Amino acid sequence: MTDTHTLATQFPEDFIFGVATSAYQIEGATKRDGRGPSIWDAFSNMPGRVYKRHNGDIACEHYDRWEQDLDLIQALGVDAYRFSIAWPRVIPNGVGAINEPGLDFYDRLVDGILERGLQVFPTLYHWDLPLNLAGYGGWTSRDTAYAFAEYARVVTQRLGDRFDTVTTFNEPWCACHLSHLFGVHAPGEKNLEATLHAVHTMNLAHGLAVQAIRSEQPDVPVGIVLNPTSIAAASDDTADKDAAERQFQFDNGVFFGPLFNGSYDQAFMDDLGSMMPIQSEDMAIIQQPLDFWGVNYYTPISVADHSDNNKVFPRAKLVRATDRKDRTDIGWEIGAFGLSQLLTQVYERYDLPPVYVTENGACYNTGLSDDGRVHDAERTQYLDEHLTEAAKIIASGIDLRGYFAWSLMDNFEWAEGYNMRFGLVHVDYDTQVRTIKDSGYWYAELAQAHRAWADGRDSTSTSIEPDNDFAR
């Protein structure tokens, strides 16, 4: 494992180290102070959808414990906090009346972040669509794109003067493919045409929202967070390479193409274009110049050609790599190389702005030991490998400007409920006690060593021990 002080010096002086969360996963208080229901409130209470019907009603009680949690982030010594704003807390029905207590909460949160010397990295949408909009088609309806733009305008008008950046969407692939094609996420649909409608609606919503944000705060840097799949062909056979290309276009190109090239891939359109609800002015709206983009990366995949010619695009099948035995507790293969593979590929294909790693982390369900600590060496190893890869990416010439660990703390892990833990901080869901894990101490030491080095101080003096004031 790389020494944290050595690793810290491999990043530029202005590189940002941060932590990330999302509203539905940590806030709780789903029925308080005027918040409306979201599609995840409904989905998680349906039998068979979420592990043991867990839901976000309580989560990590961040709505009440936000000051304690911001103190925790400050203690870690990181530079920035990436979080999301809940649309149903701001505009409960998705359209119409604004919920002032909801905006007041985010007012306090943003001010609290700034008071602790942290940069503010909000995301406007992390999957919690107001339930009312689902009744009118949700992301398959064009009207939702315009509703989202108005929501973006409202938030930016109230809070945008204090944003260091703002992101429209987190992982539209999940909100489209996982939610409308595979049925794993809310609303739990399995329909290709609905998926394609959702893809285009979200692309359109992004473009409209960028326009709305800039109408209120023209100087705030605007971007989007994508989770492009790091795809490799299962063999050197032409058929498998072609399948990998089709998979790339189906998973990644449907977002990168419109956002950065102003078009969808032609082969994709030849097969599926008849189901895409594209109007003549849409591409000009979608292709807004961006100041940055975020990449969320966890695992690579390999695909092979699907021999069944009756299969629709992308006609590819997942192949589990036999040479990568290591997997996290959620079952995802570990491969830090995939981050370089992915970023190299997309920067060769598209004219992209600077990038942040906006999520990266590992699920290990390590619990508290008898000594009251969480010895999660596997997570520390994962972070070390991926941050070492990030340093190599910068050395290769890609403008990577920051890294946000997922996640600050254990939380509601969507369809997995509270059964899977990604946090640098352990949460006891019965008592809400937060305990920094060994990986959290390691990451804090890295972040503080980097800051000391950038400031010209001795970075070797930043060693963090659990028995000092840093422990909580």
Catalytic residue numbers, as ranges: 171, 359
Q: Which residue in 104, 127, 113 sits closest to 56, CA to CA?
A: 127
Q: Which two tokens stand for residue 404?
A: 């946000």
**Looking up tokens 């997922």, which residue turns up?**
406
Assigned token pair, 430: 């019965």
Considering only CA atoms, which of 300, 408, 404, 407 is closest in space to residue 355? 404
What is d(CA 288, CA 353) in angstroms, rounded to the nearest whole number?
Answer: 12
- Which amino acid type is present at position 120? V
Peptide bond just before 314 cis, omega within 30 deg? yes
Output Rg (C-alpha) for the chain, integer angstroms: 21
- Neighbour tally for 23: CB within 10 Å: 27
What angle, rounded to 10 degrees, do the helices at 100-115 and 142-159 form?
50
Q: How many CA atoms does the CB half-sphere of 457 hold within 13 Å?
A: 10
Cβ count near 177 (within 10 Å): 20
Sequence length of the chain is 472
Q: Residue written as tokens 């799949």?
A: 229
